A and B are shown apart, each in its own frame.
Chain A
Amino acid sequence: MSVWRFLARRLVASLFVLAGVSVLIFCLARVIPGDPARIALGPNAEREQVEAMRHELWLDRPLAEQYVRFVGGALRGDLGISLYNHRPVMETIRRTLPVTVELILAAAVLTALIGVPMGIVAARWRDGAIDNITRLISLLGAAAPSFVWAILLMLGFAYTLQIFPIAGRLSEAMHAPPSVTGLLLVDCVIAGQWAVLGDGLRHICLPALALSLSGIAQIARMTRANMVEVYDSAHIELARAFAFSEASMALKYALRPALIPTLTLFGLQIAALLGNAFLVEAVFGYPGIAQFGVQAILQKDLNGIVGCVLVIAAAFLAANVAVDLAVAFVDPRIRLGARRG
C-alpha cells in the first residue's frame, strides 16, 4: 500500500471517529441540568431575557436541528461563542492550544532524553545498583498521577531549592516576541530573544518533567527490555570481539531496533499527555487550553466544552496518524495498515 493511500484511509477513518465524538459530546452537553442561557447572562438576568437568549442560542429547537447547525458552523471553523468569556471558542482555542502543544512537545523531548539513556544504562549494567535505581525511579514515575508529581516537584525545586520558578510561562519582566508559530520557545529563537528563551525554558522545565515522568518510566522499561535482548544476542558478542566502543555498539545495535516500539509507545502516550496536561497546567498556572477547558467545564459553557473536547480529539487522532507515518518512515519493512488505532 502506498503511503498516500494509507494516509487517506487513516484520515477518512479518523473523520468518522471525530463525527462520532461530536455526536457523543454534543448530546451529553445538551441533556444535562442547568440553564446555559441563564449562566451566560449573569446572576441578575430576568426571565424574559433568559428566554430570548435561549432562542438566540437555539436551545429551544430540537436536538437534531441544533446539531446540524453546530456541524455547519464547525466545518467553517466556527465553534460558537463561549458562554463564559463571550468570545469565539475558536479564537480562545487558537490562542491556548499552541501553549499546551509546546508543553507536550517539551514533555515528549524530556521523555526521550531521559527515558532512553536510562534504559540503556540499566541494561548495560543489568541487576547492578544503577539498574535497581532506574527500576525504582520508573516504578515511582508510573505510580503517581502527574498532579502529585507536579506538587512534589514544585515544593522541592521551586519553593525549597528555588532552582526553578514556581509557576507561569514567563517572568513578569519578560515580554514574549511576536507570535509566528505560537510556540513561545520557537518564536524566541526566530526573533533571537535569547533572554526570553532562557526564561521560558526555566518555566517549562518543571511542568514538562511532571508531565513526562510516567512516560519516562515506560520508555526506560521498554528500552531496557530491548537492550537486554540485544546485548544477549550474538552480533553484539561479535562486535565486542572486534573492539567496537560501547557507545557505538549501543547506538548501532540497540537503539535502532528500539526506536519503533518507542515511537509506538509515544503514540499511546499522547492520550495520557493530553489528559494530564490539564492537571499539570492547573498546578503550575500554565496558560494552556486546560485553563480554558477547566473553566468551561466549571461554568457549564456548552460551546466551550464541546469545542475543547473536539479539538483535543482531533489533535489526538492527528498525532496518531503522524506516529504511524513516522514508524513507516523509520522502518519501511513495516507494512502500512497492519497497525490499527
Chain B
Amino acid sequence: MGEFKTALRRAWYRFSRNAGSVVGLAIVGVIVLAALFAPLITPFPGHAGGALDILNANHPPDGRNLLGTDLVGRDLFTRIIYGYRLSLFMAVVVLALTVPVGVAVGLAAGYAGGMTEAVLMRITDVFLAVPPLVLAMAIMGLLPPSLIYGMMAVSLMWWPWYARLAFSIARSLRQEGYVTAAEVIGASTWHVLLREILPNAMPSILTKMTLDVGFVILIASSLSFLGLGVQPPTPDLGSMVAEGAGYLPDLWWLAVCPGVAILLVILGTNLLGDGIRDLLEAER
C-alpha cells in the first residue's frame, strides 16, 4: 500500500512539473463535472431540448444569459454544457467500440504474419486510403441521420489506426526472447497474445487513447457541422456553429461561443494527453 502511494506521489510529481498538463487536467475536470451535473448547474436545463422562448430570441450575452440566446430564445450556455455531455459520450463510445476491434485485428495480423497479416493489413490500408473525414462523411451521407449511425461512421474510420499501432508492436515483439520462450514452453496462441504481447502494447495504446479523445470530438463536431450526425434539437456543438455561421457578424455569439467551447475541450484533452504520455513513457 505504501509502495503504491509512493508511486502515485512520484507520478503526480512528474505530471505536475509540466504546467500544461495541470491546466489540461483542470479544463477536462471542469468540463466533465459540468457535463455530468448539467441539470444541476445550468440555469435553464429545459433549454437542452426543443424548448421555445421566442420573445427572448437572439439576445446577446448578458447577466441573464451568460453566452446569449439562440434563434428561438434558448440559453446558449445551457446548450453548450449539454453539448459537452454529448461530445464526451460520443468520444467514450467510439473509443470503446474501436480500440478492442482495432487492437484485436492488429495483434492477430502482427503475431500470425503470413496470409493473415496480408489480408488484414490490406483491408486496413483500404480504410486508411481515404482521408478519414471524407470517408465518414460519405458513410454518414448514405445512412439515415442519427446519433447511432454517427458513432458507427466515426468508429468505422477509427479502428484501422489502432490496428496499425497494435500491428507494429506485435510484429516487433514477435521476435522478442520472452515471447519465443513462451511459445517454446507450449503456451497457447491466446496466452501469448493476451498475456505476453498485449500488456506490453498497453502503454502505447493508452497514450493514443487519451490523445484521441480530443480528436474524436473534433471529427464528430466536423461531421455535425456539415449537418451529418446528431439531430436537432439535441444540442450539439458542431451543428450549433454551423447554424450560427449564417448569422455572422450580427449574431456573432451563435457561432463563436460553441466554437470556442470545442476549442477548449480539445485543448484540455490534448494537454492532458501529453501529460499522461510523458508519464507513461517515463514509467517504461
Known interface pairs A145-B262, A148-B262. Does A278 touch B134 (Cβ–Cβ under 8 Å)? yes
CB neighbours of B221 from chain A (8 A): 145
**A70 close to B (CB within 8 Å):** no
User: Do B263 and A341 touch across chains, with their CB atoms under 8 A apart?
Assistant: no
**A230 close to B (CB within 8 Å):** no
Within 8 A of B (CB), among A27-47: 28-29, 32-33
**A201 close to B (CB within 8 Å):** no
- Size of the A side of the interface (Cβ < 8 Å), in residues, is 52
Q: A312 is contacted by which of B134, B139, B228 (Cβ under 8 Å)?
A: B134
User: Do A160 and B249 touch across chains, with their CB atoms under 8 A apart?
Assistant: yes
Known interface pairs A144-B262, A151-B255, A300-B141. Does A275 touch B133 (Cβ–Cβ under 8 Å)? yes
- A146 to B139 alpha-carbon distance, docked (Å): 21
- Size of the B side of the interface (Cβ < 8 Å), in residues, is 49
Of chain B, the residue at the smallest CB distance from A18 is B129
- A142 to B164 alpha-carbon distance, docked (Å): 23
CB neighbours of A17 from chain B (8 A): 122, 125-126, 129
Known interface pairs A25-B138, A297-B228, A316-B131. Does A20 touch B249 (Cβ–Cβ under 8 Å)? no
Query: Chain A, 67-90, contact with B by CB distance < 8 Å: what is the 0/1 string?
Result: 000000000000000000000000
Within 8 A of A (CB), among B133-188: 133-135, 137-144, 164
Q: B130 to nearest A CB, angstroms?
A: 5
Of chain B, the residue at the smallest CB distance from A23 is B126
**B132 close to A (CB within 8 Å):** yes
CB neighbours of B227 from chain A (8 A): 298
Q: B141 is contacted by which of A16, A142, A271, A297 (Cβ under 8 Å)?
A: A297
Of chain A, the residue at the smallest CB distance from B135 is A309
**A57 close to B (CB within 8 Å):** no
User: Do A24 and B141 touch across chains, with their CB atoms under 8 A apart?
Assistant: no
User: Do A283 and B125 touch across chains, with their CB atoms under 8 A apart?
Assistant: no
- A29 to B134 alpha-carbon distance, docked (Å): 14
CB neighbours of A294 from chain B (8 A): 137, 226
Query: Chain A, 120-154, contact with B by CB distance < 8 Å: what is the 0/1 string?
Result: 00000000000000000001101111111001101
- A312 to B129 alpha-carbon distance, docked (Å): 9
Q: A20 is contacted by which of B125, B143, B255 (Cβ under 8 Å)?
A: B125
Known interface pairs A18-B129, A309-B134. Does A279 touch B259 (Cβ–Cβ under 8 Å)? no
Q: A278 is contacted by which of B133, B256, B259 (Cβ under 8 Å)?
A: B133
CB neighbours of B122 from chain A (8 A): 16-17, 20
**A276 close to B (CB within 8 Å):** yes
Question: Which stretch from B6-14, B30-38, B72-80, B264-272 is at the chain A interface?
Answer: B264-272
Given contact pairs A144-B259, A151-B248, enumerate 8 new A-B contacts (beta carbons under 8 Å).
A21-B126, A270-B131, A272-B133, A274-B134, A275-B134, A278-B134, A297-B137, A308-B134
6 pairs, CB–CB < 8 Å, chain A vs chain B? A140-B267, A147-B222, A148-B260, A300-B142, A305-B138, A313-B130
